[in-house]
Structure 1
Amino acid sequence: MEFILNVNPDTQAIAYVDQVMENYTDVYNLPFKRELRFVVHELVINAVAAVEKIGPYCKKAIQVHVSHSNKEIKITVTDEAKGIAENDWDKVLQFDLNELDYSDRGRGLFFVKNMVDHIWFENISDTKFLVGVSKKIRV
């Protein structure tokens, strides 16, 4: 099974993708339902925040691509923002409790990394960035 969503970078899109993922994980009775929904939620929040940094009237889309087989689920979220510099990829996957400032940002990719089997980043172009994750399905 596979689907692609193209959504606007706003809070309504976050809620919409959350609902789609809840329905999808229920219909296909996927294991790790809560974790998968959390992962996609965090990735979409990050994409929305990245596009919002471009400007409040930016109408660039975010694409969510989900596919699964009997062995694995793969999820990618692509935005049309600058993305994360390649030399910062390892850094964004770390979280230091000593630097905790209790803000609501900065921990999502750390949690995502610990909920999936593989996470990767790809700078598709100067203005297009992809975050991908995969998780083995062990039923």
Structure 2
Amino acid sequence: MMEFILNVNPDTQAIAYVDQVMENYTNIYNLPFKREIRFVVHELVINAVEAMEKLEPYSKKVMQVHVSHSHEEIKITVTDEAKGIAEKDWNKALQFDLNELDYSDRGRGLFFVKNMVDHIWFENISATKFLVGISKKIHV
């Protein structure tokens, strides 16, 4: 079992830092699905940073990335200090309608993430803490 937690400020440096950590991590442990795992974490971290950028006071907020993997599975959660997604909108957040495509960069991340992992879940930890988790089988 391997496990680590990163507590970072929600900013563009944190996105680059987490990207680099995940690249090193997936390479050192020679994990399958390296690119998918890195893409998924990148998308979840960007979503958390963007959600927290809308808040004040911005500087005191922290985002947490928790990664654990065993021989069978990798689990990753990203917890932010923003409001998150209302429970009634969880399914909608995972949908993507080509008919509503406006070619903007946003709004597709969770749809792609959902299709690259075995399981995705959301959790409203409190009024100001929101968690997105994923798990993916890495050995069949």
Q: TM-score, normalised by structure 1?
A: 0.97
Matched residue of 1:67: which SS? strand
1:89 partner amino acid = W
Report if aligned partners of 1:9, 1:59 keep a CA contact under 8 Å in 2.
no
Residue segments in structure 2 that go unaligned for 5+ positions in a row? none
The match for 1:111 is 112
For 1:84 and 1:62, locate their aligned partners in 2 and report how far apart those are by CA, in whole Å: 16
**TM superposition shift of 1:56:** 6.9
Report % sequence identity. 87
For 1:56 and 1:128, locate their aligned partners in 2 and report how far apart those are by CA, in whole Å: 15
2:83 partner amino acid = K
Deviations 1:26-75 (A, max 9, x none): 00000000000000000000000010011473430000000000010000
For 1:32 and 1:75, locate their aligned partners in 2 and report how far apart those are by CA, in whole Å: 14
Aligned 1:45-64 pairs, distance under 5 A: 45-55=46-56, 57-64=58-65
For 2:68 and 2:139, locate their aligned partners in 1 and report how far apart those are by CA, in whole Å: 16
For 1:103 and 1:57, locate their aligned partners in 2 and report how far apart those are by CA, in whole Å: 25
Residue segments in structure 1 that go unaligned for 5+ positions in a row? none
For 1:34 and 1:56, locate their aligned partners in 2 and report how far apart those are by CA, in whole Å: 34
For 1:57 and 1:130, locate their aligned partners in 2 and report how far apart those are by CA, in whole Å: 18
The match for 2:126 is 125
The match for 1:20 is 21
Matched residue of 1:130: which SS? strand
Runs of 4+ in 1 over 3 A off after TM superposition: 55-58
Aligned 1:3-18 pairs, distance under 5 A: 3-18=4-19
Question: Does 46-55 or 105-114 show the bigger shift?
Answer: 46-55
Matched residue of 2:60: which SS? coil
**TM superposition shift of 1:103:** 1.0
The match for 2:77 is 76
For 2:56 and 2:104, locate their aligned partners in 1 and report how far apart those are by CA, in whole Å: 22
Aligned-CA RMSD value: 1.0
